[in-house]
Amino acid sequence: MEVVVNAATSVDGKLSTRERRQVRISGDEDFDRVDRLRAAADAVLVGVGTVLADDPHLGVKSEDRRVQRLRNGRSANPARVVADSRARTPPDATLLNDDAETYLLVSEAAPPERLATLRDAGATVIEAGEEQVNLSAAFDQLETEGVDRLLVEGGGKVIFSLFEAGLVDELSVFVGSLVLGGREAPTLADGEGFVEDFPALELVGVDRLDDGVVLEYRVES
């Protein structure tokens, strides 16, 4: 499976404010670029922290692109995937609506009654890992469901875990012209952090977009 990570950060590497409040970091050109990435993906993944903070939809915004997907024999929208070890996704979350299929990646620690509620709300549950989701094992199961290209839209904890597990193939980051600051504010890669064996990135693209830049990398290890 090809795993593509995309995020928008402030110039100091933050994904949002210390209150985890969404900020408009990029602009319309970047949102259109993200829409193209979504349209090219079989599924779009976020961590449950992002679901709780932003209640995202994760669908393709452009009707032309949805129509093109249907013409190509695909679903109008990519599937939605939430890394959600303890099944904390609210049953009324927007991404559980009927616009696309939704997979919840959970661990053995997820309470069975939560799983029953979320299945009733339309989710397909994939279990992998004891305490936290074992992303590598969960991705193997997603692949059997036909997910060959997965777009990851954050947040910082999930992105770090994916790098730690060596699962990232491509990374694109829109760096906006603003400073959010705050040592508690989520960054592109949170979690424990690396002290050695940092992921090796090859810079393959630099583009000016909106009032910022998009940096594109291929991940070598």
Ligand X SMILES: NC(=O)c1ccc[n+]([C@@H]2O[C@H](COP(=O)([O-])OP(=O)(O)OC[C@H]3O[C@@H](n4cnc5c(N)ncnc54)[C@H](O)[C@@H]3O)[C@@H](O)[C@H]2O)c1
Ligand Y SMILES: Nc1nc(=O)c(N)c(NC[C@H](O)[C@H](O)[C@H](O)COP(=O)(O)O)[nH]1
Among 30, 153, 170, 210, binds ligand X (CB under 6 A): 153
Query: Quick check: helix, strand or coil at residue 37?
Result: helix
Lay out the site mask for ligand X across 16-55 (x = CB under 6 A, - = otherwise): x---x-x--x--------------------xxxxx--xx-
Nearest-angstrom CA–CA distance, 9 and 204: 19
Among 26, 107, 172, 187, binds ligand Y (CB under 6 A): 26
Q: Which does 24 bind (CB under 5 to 8 A by kind): ligand Y, ligand X, none?
A: ligand Y
Listed in sequence order, the DSSP H helices in the chain are: 28-39, 48-54, 63-71, 112-120, 135-144, 156-164
Q: Is position 8 an interface residue for ligand Y (rule: CB under 6 A)?
A: yes
What's the token pair of residue 149?
């290209």
Among 20, 29, 57, 145, binds ligand Y (CB under 6 A): 57
Among 59, 78, 186, 212, binds ligand X (CB under 6 A): 186
Which range, of 52-60, 129-137, 193-201, 212-220, touches ligand Y by CB under 6 A?
Answer: 52-60
Nearest-Å Rg of the Cα atoms of the chain is 17
Nearest-angstrom CA–CA distance, 155 and 190: 9
Q: Is position 56 an interface residue for ligand Y (rule: CB under 6 A)?
A: yes
- Residue with smaller CB distance to ligand Y, 129 or 157: 157
Q: Is position 161 an interface residue for ligand X (rule: CB under 6 A)?
A: yes
Q: Is position 8 an interface residue for ligand X (rule: CB under 6 A)?
A: yes
What's the token pair of residue 8?
């928008």
Residue-wise DSSP of 178-213: -----TTS-BSS-TT--SSSPPPEEEEEEEEETTEE
Contact 170, 216 (CB under 8 A): yes
Which range, of 64-72, 95-103, 147-155, 203-211, touches ligand X by CB under 6 A?
Answer: 147-155
Nearest-angstrom CA–CA distance, 28 and 209: 9
Q: Is position 15 an interface residue for ligand X (rule: CB under 6 A)?
A: yes
Identify the burial level of 60 via C-beta atoms within 10 angstroms of its C-beta, where 0-12 means exposed, 13-18 middle and 19 or more buried: buried
Contact 78, 38 (CB under 8 A): yes
Among 42, 54, 84, 127, binds ligand Y (CB under 6 A): 54
Binding residues for ligand Y, rule: CB under 6 A, are 8, 22-26, 30-31, 34, 50, 54, 56-59, 153, 174
Binding residues for ligand X, rule: CB under 6 A, are 7-8, 15-16, 20, 22, 25, 46-50, 53-54, 83-85, 132-133, 135, 153-158, 161, 186, 190
